[in-house]
Structure formats: C-alpha cells, structure tokens
Chains A and B, each alone.
Chain A
Amino acid sequence: AQSVSQHNHHVILSEAASLELGCNYSYGGTVNLFWYVQYPGQHLQLLLKYFSGDPLVKGIKGFEAEFIKSKFSFNLRKPSVQWSDTAEYFCAVTGTGFQKLVFGTGTRLLVSP
C-alpha cells in the first residue's frame, strides 16, 4: 500500500530563514507527487506537483520541490520564508491508475516576524 511520511510535525523559523520540509513515500511504481498548503482556517490549495520530466518542480510563492526517485523523496524548499508562509503543509502521492491521493500527516510551519 502507498504511504507518505512527513518527519517534521512542527517547524518554527524566523523570517528570511531557508525552509526544507521532508517527504518520503512508499510505492514501487510510477508516482505523481503533490504538495498542498492549508493556511489557517482555509482549505487545502495546491502548491506544486510532479508528474514527469524535470525532477525539480517550481510552484507558487517561491516554493520548489525535488523528486529524488532513488530516495523516494519529494522535499519542499523555499530559500527565504515570510510570515505569510505560516500554514500547514501536506505532501501527497498517487500512483498511475490510482484515483485517490495518499496524504502525509502534515507539517505545521510557524514563521515568526
């Protein structure tokens, strides 16, 4: 069965610090990978996704993620965070032919001004 691990449950950073959130998945086949963000009191929104091609994916608001197939990882990065990035971040995976997404448990990011 597919599963997703997000090892950082809570991250606290100061503004302008660099961010890297870990995501590892388990699935042996071809995968589609996603990062969603949930701002306080809001619904999940797509940050970026990997489907195929360049393993370095750029998303909205300066976020990027790198798919490393050999490590089964899809870590999210941002070189300089802002207070407005305070949110919960979810990594998700689906395999070709599967309709449902398997979500990680989420990482709560708090950026202090």
Chain B
Amino acid sequence: DAGVIQSPRHEVTEMGQEVTLRCKPISGHNSLFWYRQTMMRGLELLIYFNNNVPIDDSGMPEDRFSAKMPNASFSTLKIQPSEPRDSAVYFCASSFSGRGLSRDYEQYFGPGTRLTVT
C-alpha cells in the first residue's frame, strides 16, 4: 500500500485566499483524522471521521475551516479565507477501528502539507 497520501506537499498562498488540502487514506481504513502542527501549539486534532461521518470537530479553530469526506477514499480540509496564523503543517492520518484487534487504533500518518499564508 502507498500509505496515506496528501496533496499538495507545500502550499504558499496570500491572506484571504481559499486553500484546499487533500487526503487519501489507506485503503480499508474506516477512520480519518486531520491534525495541525505548529511550534507554538504542537500537534492538534482538528476533526476526525468514522465511516465517512464527522465524529468530533471540536478542534476546528473557527468557521473558516471546513472538512468533508465524500467517500471512503478521499477527504478535504478547506480554509476560506486563509490567514497568516493558519500557517502550519497539516497532517492527515487514517486507521481501522472496531475489531478489537491490536492493530486497531494505530494511526498511519501522511507526509503532511506545509501551508504558508503570507
């Protein structure tokens, strides 16, 4: 398997522009997670989906952020409008949960998207 795929790997945009980050989870996984990592705040869980349904979006900073998972193999995280304080590395991770096996809940991380908003 190719692992979790994220695109783009780097994104530089101007304040006010819309940014869309993409994630393809590992085939067969039923949970998907979006994280943000900054020096100041560390690793933060933004939102996660189980079976394509958003379960917990309490980490989403504000209404400018939205996430969708239209099917089991694709998710997007959108920021509109973007602001300089959104600059961070955004990670997507996937896992399989629900079987009670030791490999459940282990999250596999993608390479991340480094976002710079100027």
A residues with CB within 8 A of B: 32, 34, 36, 42-46, 49, 51-52, 90, 94, 96, 99-101, 103, 105-106
Given contact pairs A101-B45, A103-B45, a sample of 9 additional A-B residue pairs in the complex whose CB atoms are under 8 Å apart: A34-B106, A43-B109, A43-B110, A43-B112, A49-B102, A90-B43, A99-B48, A99-B55, A106-B42
Complex CA–CA separation, A90 to B112 (angstroms): 17
- Interface residues as binary, B10-37 with A (CB distance below 8 Å gives 1, 0 otherwise): 0000000000000000000001010000
Given contacts A90-B43, A101-B107, contact A51 B102 (CB under 8 A): yes
Task: Give the residue name and chain of the B residue nearest to A92 (CB).
Answer: B107
Shortest beta-carbon distance, B104 to chain A, in Å?
A: 8
B81 to chain A, nearest CB (A): 27
Instruction: Please give the distance in Å from B52's CB to the nearest CB on chain A.
Output: 13
Residues of B within 8 A of A45 (CB): 109
User: Is A43 in contact with B91, judged by CB distance below 8 angstroms?
Assistant: yes
- CB-contact partner of B33 in A32, A49, A100, under 8 A: A100
| Chain B residues within 8 Å of chain A by Cβ, number | 24
Most buried by A among B48, B105, B107: B105
Taking CB atoms, residues of chain B closer than 8 Å to A52 are 102
Q: Provide the bound-state CA to CA distance between A49 and B107, in Å.
A: 11
Near A by CB (< 8 A), chain B positions 65-100 give 91, 93, 95, 97, 100
Q: How far is the CA of A52 from the CA of B105 in the complex (A)?
A: 13
Contacts of A99 in B (CB 8 A): 31, 48, 50, 55, 95, 97, 105
Can you list 5 residue pairs at the A/B interface with Cβ under 8 Å?
Answer: A36-B109, A43-B109, A43-B111, A94-B105, A103-B42
Instruction: Please determine whether B91 and A32 come into contact, CB atoms closer than 8 angstroms.
Output: no
- In the bound complex, how far is the Cα of B33 from the Cα of A44, in angstroms? 13
Instruction: Mark contacts of B37-56 with chain A using CB atoms, 8 A cut-off: 1 yes-contact digit, 0 otherwise.
Output: 00000110100101000011
Expressed in whole angstroms, the Cα–Cα distance for A100 and B56 within the complex equals: 9
Within 8 Å by CB of B45, from A34, A36, A90, A100, lies A100
**Shortest distance from the beta carbon of A10 to any chain B beta carbon, whole Å:** 13
Question: How far apart are the CA atoms of A101 and B104 in the complex, in Å?
Answer: 11
Specify the chain A residue showing the minimal Cβ separation from B6. Answer: A43
> In the complex the two chains form, what is the Cα distance from A20 to B45 in whole Å?
26
